[in-house]
Amino acid sequence: MTTFVDRVELHVAAGSGGHGCASVHREKFKPLGGPDGGNGGRGGDVMLVVDQSVTTLLDYHHKPHRSATNGKPGEGGNRSGKDGQDLILPVPDGTVVLDKAGNVLADLVGHGTSYVASQGGRGGLGNAALASARRKAPGFALLGVPGDFQDIVLELKTVADVALVGYPSAGKSSLISVLSAAKPKIADYPFTTLVPNLGVVTAGETVYTIADVPGLIPGASQGKGLG
């Protein structure tokens, strides 16, 4: 079972604003007391926030569609609708947010760093807010603005706690395959490992990341081997 995911595509939808209310104040002996329709509430935002206790994007791999709540419509009696609730999505430290074209939208580093991935829509104005000297009792209200919808990609810049460095065919890949759930390619010829392999090791309550890097030979800094 997959326990570590470092790249996911996420579909986020902010809440839409609530509609304004068109209402006229009425009471005994005063049937037309003026407009009293309240404004609609604001739609909730979708926010990405760095949380040090989160180490993987696995939750978003399983549930890639996330939505904030809509604002409530306004009511008579100058009662504004309730704002939609913001949706806070915790992400690991070092998460990079990209659009579908690969452009970087945000680089989230440091606990509490946030990014509004999708902006909630404004609530519509009620007829009380639309009243003016020229139009004292408008019989209409404004609709709420739809919330933003966005497809984004989250990539985790993983920094390994431990790196296995050594000659080719020294058993680095075999070691990481035993210590973690990583499944690197293992064969009996040099330079089987062409790119770094990452594995997450759990030892009691301690969790750390280990990296298996391609084998190094003398002169690697001058381009020999894989450089």
pLDDT, tens digit, 9 for 90 and up, residues 154-184: 998 766 677 777 777 667 777 777 777 666 5
Other Cβ atoms less than 10 A from the Cβ of 210: the count is: 20
pTM of the model: 0.69
Pick the CATH number of 1-157 from 1.10.1740.10, 3.30.450.40, 3.30.390.30, 2.70.210.12: 2.70.210.12
Residues of the chain with CATH 2.70.210.12: 1-157
Residue type, 146: P
What percentage of the chain exceeds 70 in pLDDT? 81
pLDDT of 216 over the 70 cut: no
CA 66 to chain centre: 9
pLDDT in tens, 37-89: 999 999 999 999 999 888 788 889 889 999 999 999 999 999 999 999 999 99
Position 161, amino acid: D
The bridge status of strand 149-156 relative to strand 95-98 is antiparallel
CB contact at 8 A, 71 and 17 = yes
Question: Which amino acid, one-letter code, is at 121?
Answer: G
Amino acid present at 124? G
- How many whole angstroms separate alpha carbon 186 and alpha carbon 168? 11
